Structure 1
Amino acid sequence: MLTRFRKRWNLGLVLFCCCILVISFYGTYRLMTLNNNINNSENQDLVGERESVDAVKNDGLKQDEMEDMTVINVNTRIKYKTIYKKCGHIEERESKPSVDLLGLDYEKAVNRFLDWNIETFTKEEVVLIAEVNGFDKDCLENSYLGIKDGAVAVFYGKPGEGKVVKKQTNILVANLPQSEIADLEKGIIINSEEELYEILEGLSNLE
């Protein structure tokens, strides 16, 4: 009876020890796995930070290189000048370079701006010129009465600015009152076609 009890106790003790060993082994394995995951995560974060720093440095180097060369950079001023040949007016505007223009040298800029002539090309400023065989917006939308070759004429644009004749009349200035001549010399702004015909009819009656 005592022998059986001892055998059972010894068997239980062996099983208990085995369970302790298994639990210890599993705990050690889990702890090692967790530490490895933490180390891998920290290493990846360090790699990512280094890559970000390297990228910023490379961008800075590229920008410095562009500023030293005669190419378009972020500080370059792009000026556009449009010359309207019929009225002689010049329209100008200025802008910052778009992303697709950065890094272009003179030859590449010529191919990029096919409709423009490059007047100036430096890293500080690029001036582009285009000629249009027509009138600018102000001349097309405005007109006034003035004097041309001793007769009343309709001009494009505004008084003092537009010099191109839109329509020549047969109304002789010499036959008009001095007050009307003075107004024509200053320029009489026309706001509509109806107003134009009314004024011309009135001047005709004064001859």
Structure 2
Amino acid sequence: MNRRNRLLTVCLTLMLLSAGLSYAYLSLKGTGNLDKPDEGLPDLPNLDYQGNASSREFQQASMELSDPGKIRSFTQMLYRTVYECGHEETHTIPAPHEMIGLSKDALAKEIEPWIITEFSEDQIVLLQKRQGMSLSCLKTMHIGEKDGWVTVFYGTPDNRCRPKSATRIKASDLPPGELDDLKTGIPVSGEEELLRVLEALASWSDG
């Protein structure tokens, strides 16, 4: 029995000694790491370099995606002006910055008296009707035939507008060549050329 007790005592002593040494080692190791810099995650690269989209552009893109059915930064605005003479003038511009984000109803209040005839993210078509003739018609004129008489028209031969004035020159009095020109339309650049051509045509009628 005494021998067994001595063996148990020796074993317990060795176990306690081993535990004490392990604790002392771990304590010393933990203390030594206090002076070392923290090893955290590596720094992320700075992505704010020239060529990246700005935060303002990201915010604008986010706003556009979250608001369907509104004017975008890439929307084109097509303006159609239809005149009383039946001709129209058109021009297209990018959507102004102050219109970006507007809905169809909000835009309609901003552009009176224009009328929205088409509304999509890609293109918006605006229409306005005006009295009188288009500027292109007012600035051009040509000589043609109406009801058998030589007549001066606004516009061009390919885009004839209303009559400007009628003459007393009968189309039937003209030779075949001049008559063909008259039916096609004789463009004139101004009043001086107009008078010169009319005098030439009148000479055939007088003869």
Q: State the one-letter code of the partner of 2:69.
A: T
Q: State the one-letter code of the partner of 1:65.
A: S
Report deviation, 1:59: 4.1
Amino-acid identity (%): 30
* Of 66, 76, 91, the match for 1:93: 91
Superposition RMSD in Å:
2.0
2:125 alignment partner in structure 1? 127
For residues 55-74 of structure 1, the C-alpha deviation after alignment (integer angstroms, 9 at most, x for no partner) is 776444223213xx111111
Note the residue ranges of structure 1 that are not aligned, 5 or more in a row.
1-52
1:13 alignment partner in structure 2? none
Q: Which structure's residues are more often helix, by fraction?
A: 1
1:65 alignment partner in structure 2? 66
* Of 147, 165, 174, the match for 2:145: 147
Report deviation, 1:137: 2.5
Q: Give the whole-Å Cα distance in 1 for the aligned partners of 2:76 and 2:55.
A: 29
Distance 1:143 1:58, change over 3 A: closer
Distance 1:135 1:55, change over 3 A: closer
For residues 140-161 of structure 1, the C-alpha deviation after alignment (integer angstroms, 9 at most, x for no partner) is 1111111000000001111121
Distance 1:198 1:103, change over 3 A: same
For residues 77-107 of structure 1, the C-alpha deviation after alignment (integer angstroms, 9 at most, x for no partner) is 2111111222x22212112111110111111
Distance 1:106 1:161, change over 3 A: same
Q: Give the whole-Å Cα distance in 2 for the aligned partners of 1:120 and 1:56.
A: 27
TM-score normalised by length of structure 2: 0.67
Q: State the one-letter code of the partner of 1:150.
A: G
User: SS at the partner of 2:117?
Assistant: strand
Report deviation, 1:202: 2.4
Q: State the one-letter code of the partner of 1:151.
A: W
Report deviation, 1:180: 1.5
User: SS at the partner of 2:198?
Assistant: helix
Report deviation, 1:164: 1.7
Report deviation, 1:117: 0.7
Q: Give the whole-Å Cα distance in 2 for the aligned partners of 1:56 and 1:178.
A: 67
Residue 75 of structure 2 corresponds to residue 76 of structure 1: yes
Q: Give the whole-Å Cα distance in 2 for the aligned partners of 1:81 and 1:165.
A: 24
